[in-house]
Structure 1
């Protein structure tokens, strides 16, 4: 095999879409071209290319605002794994953010958490991915569809809950999947269509009842398989997910690098947007 020294590190652009979709597909992840375009358009997407110029590894640094940024899509094709490329990609993405004064965050798998802990990341929150197969009955329409003009208050509400102002990301999600709001601006739910699945999140609400109503409304609008990355601290919401036919697939840990140890208002956070979007 060609040595790592023969690889080149380079920006990844929409011209590389076929290759990056292959990377995420090989890993069993659900991102579609719209996800990659969003991250490439708003952030820094780079990776390693083999001598023929084909991307064999990727990483994304996605600024949320001028304070916080997300690291994701750390992917290495199988034949190039266990050669240190993933760690190099995380380092490069962290450097890109920190050179701009932006604090890096990420959602780590259990295996990744061990590595990232050694790279200066610290735990913030626990997350579980729940999955509901298509064809399961249930769900009631109890919240209202989000109209385009709702983006203004949704973005400010999200900034209070999530801890960073990200209207461009939320606006993109509002055009791509389920989007519902609770009465009196008491919460919202967004989502997006992925490869073979609808990903719900973020879900933020003033109270558990509003969060459950938003979830029920989304379920009623979807016939296929659903996933949602729910925060472990919201035990009542987790019980409702179970009652609605969801089962836990895997866990994540939200981590941050730097001196910050709290972010946003976790009491109002019920589900994340996903490991690639925070």
Structure 2
């Protein structure tokens, strides 16, 4: 295998969506081709190709993406390395490429890290912020008393997200909400986005007046869906997290949100669930 220090890091383009999807599928992630298309169209995606000793590039073996949300804040994600190229420092080099670009653009960067990832990002200068818990529901529980869900208002949803994040992600939210199969739903006291993933439908972001309203929203969404569901809950929303497990949701893994650079603004109020580790 080639010396990692000698391998070229390239910027990827729209034609790399399926190759990126192959990497996230290998890692058992939930991203689908629409997610990759969005990152390649709106973000700056770096990658490494296995040239197998030839000048002609072959398969994509590693990626990392920088997704600017505003002129001050961006998200880093899609940090993926295929199995036989791991543990050689390639992910660190790709994240460094994202950070170098972010520094040149004057961006504060954020990411949601697995425990293994957090051990890598900490020494790079990332500071931990909130914690998340990913939960799965395999089959929706049978319910005879389901509150009707109506369509949510995109402008209200965007305003809630800005308050929760501290910066504006309206382009992302409009794109996610506009995808085939997506639903922006409300019950009057809570609002959530439900969208397709590769292996499960995803709930989030989710905003509510309190944990009881957030749990009612999740219950009603689950009763109106078929197939498995995923949700990335904010860990310090204790009552909400406890209620989810009592409803049959199973905690799969933790994520640690981390920031590189100064905080540009402070969130006014945390959501109950987020858009997913790839988007924040």
Residue of structure 2 equivalent to 1:117: 122
CA distance in 1, matches of 2:73, 2:177: 22
Aligned-pair distance for 1:139? Answer: 8.5
In the alignment, structure 2 segments of 5+ residues that lack a partner are none
Summarize the Cα distance change of 1:15–1:238 in structure 2 as closer, same or farther, 3 Å threshold.
same
Aligned-pair distance for 1:123? Answer: 1.0
Q: Is the 8 A contact 2:141 2:223 kept in 1?
A: no
Aligned-pair distance for 1:19? Answer: 1.1
Q: Is the 8 A contact 1:138 1:219 kept in 2?
A: no
Summarize the Cα distance change of 1:262–1:114 in structure 2 as closer, same or farther, 3 Å threshold.
farther
Aligned-pair distance for 1:223? Answer: 1.0
Summarize the Cα distance change of 1:87–1:139 in structure 2 as closer, same or farther, 3 Å threshold.
farther
Residue of structure 2 equivalent to 1:233: 236
Aligned-pair distance for 1:138? Answer: 4.3
Residue of structure 2 equivalent to 1:180: 185
CA distance in 1, matches of 2:31, 2:75: 16
Q: Is the 8 A contact 1:8 1:50 kept in 2?
A: no
TM-score (norm 1): 0.91
CA deviation profile, 1:26-85 (whole Å, cap 9, x unmatched): 111111100111111221111111224222110111112122111001001111111111
Residue of structure 1 equivalent to 2:63: 58
Residue of structure 1 equivalent to 2:46: 46
CA distance in 1, matches of 2:126, 2:273: 21
Q: Secondary structure at the match of 1:165?
A: coil
Q: State the number of aligned residues.
A: 273
Aligned-pair distance for 1:141? Answer: 4.0
Which region of structure 1 is more displaced relative to structure 2, 21-30 or 94-103? 94-103
CA distance in 1, matches of 2:112, 2:28: 17
Q: Secondary structure at the match of 2:272?
A: strand
CA distance in 2, matches of 1:6, 1:98: 23
Q: Is the 8 A contact 2:4 2:89 kept in 1?
A: no
- Pick one of 214, 220, 223 that aligns with 1:220: 223
- Pick one of 132, 137, 162 that aligns with 1:132: 137
The answer as to 2:162 corresponding to 1:153 is no
Residue of structure 2 equivalent to 1:103: 108
Residue of structure 1 equivalent to 2:18: 18
CA deviation profile, 1:166-223 (whole Å, cap 9, x unmatched): 111111221332321242xx54201221112111111112322321222122112211
Which region of structure 1 is more displaced relative to structure 2, 86-95 or 186-195? 186-195
TM-score (norm 2): 0.91
Q: Is the 8 A contact 1:71 1:104 kept in 2?
A: yes
Residue of structure 1 equivalent to 2:29: 29
Aligned-pair distance for 1:145? Answer: 3.1
Question: What's the Cα RMSD here?
Answer: 2.0
Q: Is the 8 A contact 1:68 1:164 kept in 2?
A: yes
In the alignment, structure 1 segments of 5+ residues that lack a partner are none
CA distance in 2, matches of 1:241, 1:195: 22
Aligned-pair distance for 1:6? Answer: 5.4
